[in-house]
Amino acid sequence: MTVHVIYGSDSGRTRAAAGKIAAKLDAKIINISDATAADFEGCDLLVLGSPTYGEGDLQADWESGVDVLGEADLSGKRVALFGLGDQSTYPDSFADAMGTLYDAVVAKGAEVVGFTDTKGYEFEGSTAVRDGQFVGLVLDQDNQAGKSEKRIAAWTSQIL
């Protein structure tokens, strides 16, 4: 199975998480600023990741990356999402960037896999929650960094 992990990162935390996820999935890792439509299409499983900034914004490179994603044919493609957020500082928009990516890939016909439980997090609101679950893996490196390795291991097993 061919897997591509495409991520955006400013501080390096999302890049580090993408690296750990890619290692578990034996995946090619691609920075969104270098991604092409072919990178979104040329795999069996597509994994997309972004931190959430401010009041729910995508990482800056994803702003133009969403346009590249829009050029790709994702009809029937299996897509898994991961996002980084800070539930203490931004409890009303926790991991919202992952919700934005979810909406973008669903609009392109993708099948999203890898929903996870919201238990174990303390937040008020998130566009990344649908039907009571996160639309992917949420990591809070500010408040729960010690739980990330276990969450990554469980999630990568689930999406395979």
* pLDDT tens-digit map of 44-89: 999 999 999 988 999 999 989 999 999 999 999 999 999 999 999 9
Report yes or no on whether pTM surpasses 0.75: yes
Q: Which pLDDT band holds residue 153 (cuts at 50, 70, 90)? A: very high
Distance, in Å, from the CA atom of 30 to the CA atom of 58, rounded to the nearest integer, reads 17
CB 33 within 8 A of CB 50: no
Q: Under CATH, to which class is 3-159 assigned? A: alpha beta
- Least confident residue range of 36-45, 55-64, 133-142, 146-155: 55-64
What is the structure's pLDDT at 51?
98
Percent of the chain with pLDDT over 90: 98
DSSP state of 59: P
Q: Which pLDDT band holds residue 93 (cuts at 50, 70, 90)? A: very high
User: Tens digit of pLDDT for each residue in 112-129?
Assistant: 999 999 999 999 999 999
Q: Output the CA angle 63-66-69, nearest 5 degrees.
A: 155
b vs e for 72-110, b when ≥16 Cβ sit within 10 Å of the residue's Cβ? bebeebbbbbbbbbbbeebeebbbbbbbbbbebbeebeb
Q: Which pLDDT band holds residue 43 (cuts at 50, 70, 90)? A: very high
What is the structure's pLDDT at 82?
98
